[in-house]
Structure 1
Amino acid sequence: MNKEFHITNTQREILSGLTAGFLTTTVTHPLDLLKIRLQLDPSSNTKVFQNFKKQINLIYVKYSFAQTFQNLYRGILPNLIGNSLAWSIYFTSYRTFKDYRHKEIERLDSNLTSLDYLTSAFAAGSLTAFLTNPIWVLKTRILSTNKSDPGAYTNLFDGIKRILKEEGILGFWKGFLPSLLGVSQGALQFTIYDTLKYQIKNDDHVKLEIYEYLYMSCTSKIISLMTIYPIQMMKSRLQAYENITERKKLRTLIKQIYYREGIQGFYKGVVPNIIRVLPATCITFSVYEEMKKIF
């Protein structure tokens, strides 16, 4: 970068996070849509491929590629906005919390520990979850239906108006409790990621290769995803449009899923989610790290 154009570390984190979130969401949105629909399927049928085929049939429109494509990318706008903002806020606040903690222990001539990474990631995740919950409510409700379905939101602005009218401002924070609990997934992921990164890169001047970023991001994501996935599934159920009239509480929802769908019910949609998150995580972290170098 030349001397006439200089950006701060915070601006670099924001731009890198926005770019990573935008590209990742664009590529993986159809799998995100399938994951949401499988999570919201209340049937007791837990055969993965049968449920997967059922949702594909609902999206696929025979002899109309344009309509099928439109169904696959329904809700792309709130997903783009949400993921771009979320990654931008998360990376920026995570860096801020780590820097603050580093200054505290610098006097002790010590390095950040896994606990420091975990605390910073949890704080960043909590802030991100609170600020972005409204967009996730809108995303979940739009992705759970086709545009022609009865009661479906026609677009992002229609969803905003209807939530304000039917549920009030607090409607935008439905599912926030499991979102907050789900922060532990991001905290666990970043703790594993940064711990692996520190072990591989013990010198700030060493540049890691793309395959090393892929290894760290995949390992951290798979472990954190399988550990916290049931919380993510319950968040989707609480945010769904069908929950407006029933107003289920988290405890009621847990009992209902367990007795109607069994333990497997808590892992509905996990297959397309794994298929989605592996390339998504690889894209996100690789783009993020490379964009930081460019900026």
Structure 2
Amino acid sequence: MSDALINGVAGAGAGIVAQLITYPLQTVNTRQQTERQPKDASGEELLIASKRLAKRNLGTIGQICQVIKQEGWGRLYGGLMPSLAGTAASQGVYYYFYQIFWTNAEAAAINRFSKGSGDGTVGIFSSLLVAALSGCLNVLLTNPIWVVVTRMQTHTKVLKKNQADPLKRIPPEAPQISPLEPSSPFGTSHAVQEVYDEAGVLGFWKGVVPTLIMVSNPTLQFMLYETMLKQLKRRRALNKKGRNGATALEIFLLGAIAKLGATVVTYPLLVVKSRLQVKQVSGADKRHHYKGTLDAIGKMIQHEGFGGFYKGMNTKIVQSVLAAAILFMVKEELVKVARVLVTGNVGLVEKVKTRTS
């Protein structure tokens, strides 16, 4: 089994573990991102806005409890199966290509060093390029899965909102919702059909532009992670205590810090992506109907202000930092186990400790 394949499989497994642990936070965060409260609301819109504000003031834990109370535990895991498939595919694709590109970057660095240039290690710019290329391939291949997941996470919210707010007027041309529909099953096949009926095949690539731009998130994350890890190992080597690897706890903390920095910088793009991927009812308020990335950004600034780009950021920071930390830690442990199982050589564990993929 190749080194790239080992890292791909380990990345997929670690992604699933992280997703299972943090999924309720992800569901609540998606709902927060897709809540729309115009800054110039008046009349019945103000009444609806006040209800949403009260809901947000509950905080993340309060909203989780509210979902459990009103919709049941199952809604916190709406879209879990396609999300797990998406996570496994995303992490597998990302780490597979990341390892291939990283190996080539290392070979190039060693080649330059042999010719008297550089220090033989992969620099920050090369790390950035490796992460960016891996991220772009990942986005293009897996975006359809995340469109379906977003629909499933927000489905109940959209239906209940129309039912729970009797003062909200539904345009005649909008689809009418039967009283029984909120409790009717809405599985993966329903979400796929809904996306296809709405925009055809291209609908599965909604939000791909901001998502491609958001490649800078894992790019920044891995650049920070690799830089901090390299510094840690360098200090260990200078101490000359015969140990220059990183422990699982250290990898957990480095992954958390790296993800925190990347999330704060790129969060507005994540909100725009969620707005584009959520169901948009034909004939609904034009302020909430987006034709594309630039249209969404313009309408959000005009009707919600810049604060609209940071809805639910506190929840996202907790979810993404925790997930990233778990992913890094579990992935490295799985790589070690996979190497031993494939080769039967326990000594290879030390090789893994000297650098991370």
Q: Deviations over 1:242-262 (max 9, x none)?
A: 177745222221121112222
For the structure 1 residues 243 and 104, does the alpha-carbon distance in structure 2 shift closer, same or farther, using more than 3 Å as the test? Answer: farther
Counterpart of 2:344? none
Q: 2:25 aligned with 1:10, yes or no?
A: no
Counterpart of 1:191? 223
CA distance in 1 between counterparts of 2:53 and 2:257 reads: 24
**The one of 112, 120, 137 aligned to 1:127:** 137
CA distance in 2 between counterparts of 1:258 and 1:148 reads: 22
Q: Deviations over 1:21-60 (max 9, x none)?
A: 1111111111000000000000146998741538547623
Higher mean C-alpha displacement, 158-167 vs 110-119: 158-167
CA distance in 1 between counterparts of 2:53 and 2:322 reads: 21
Counterpart of 2:258? 220
Q: TM-score, normalised by structure 2?
A: 0.74
For the structure 1 residues 244 and 133, does the alpha-carbon distance in structure 2 shift closer, same or farther, using more than 3 Å as the test? Answer: farther
Counterpart of 1:257? 300
Counterpart of 2:213? 181
**The one of 105, 111, 117 aligned to 1:107:** 111
CA distance in 2 between counterparts of 1:18 and 1:210 reads: 18
Q: 2:90 aligned with 1:86, yes or no?
A: yes
| Larger CA Rg, structure 1 vs 2 | 2
Question: Contact (CA 8 Å) 2:30, 2:274: kept in 1 or not?
Answer: yes
Q: Secondary structure at the match of 1:146?
A: helix
Structure 2 unaligned residues grouped into runs of 5+: 39-48, 114-119, 160-176, 284-288, 339-357
Aligned pairs for 1:22-101 (under 5 A) are 22-44=16-38, 50-51=55-56, 53=58, 55-56=63-64, 59-61=67-69, 68-101=72-105
Counterpart of 2:312? 269
Counterpart of 1:236? 274
Q: AA paired with 1:164?
A: Y
Question: Contact (CA 8 Å) 1:39, 1:268: kept in 2 or not?
Answer: yes
CA shift for structure 1 position 147 = 8.6
Q: Secondary structure at the match of 2:112?
A: coil
Question: Contact (CA 8 Å) 1:217, 1:285: kept in 2 or not?
Answer: yes
Higher mean C-alpha displacement, 88-97 vs 242-251: 242-251
CA distance in 2 between counterparts of 1:171 and 1:244 reads: 14
For the structure 1 residues 243 and 289, does the alpha-carbon distance in structure 2 shift closer, same or farther, using more than 3 Å as the test? Answer: farther
Q: 2:258 aligned with 1:248, yes or no?
A: no
RMSD: 2.5
Q: AA paired with 1:61?
A: K
Q: Percent identity?
A: 27
Question: Contact (CA 8 Å) 1:38, 1:55: kept in 2 or not?
Answer: no
Question: Contact (CA 8 Å) 2:31, 2:157: kept in 1 or not?
Answer: no
**The one of 1, 12, 21 aligned to 2:15:** 21
CA distance in 2 between counterparts of 1:147 and 1:51 reads: 14
**The one of 181, 193, 209 aligned to 2:247:** 209
Structure 1 unaligned residues grouped into runs of 5+: 1-6
Counterpart of 1:282? 325
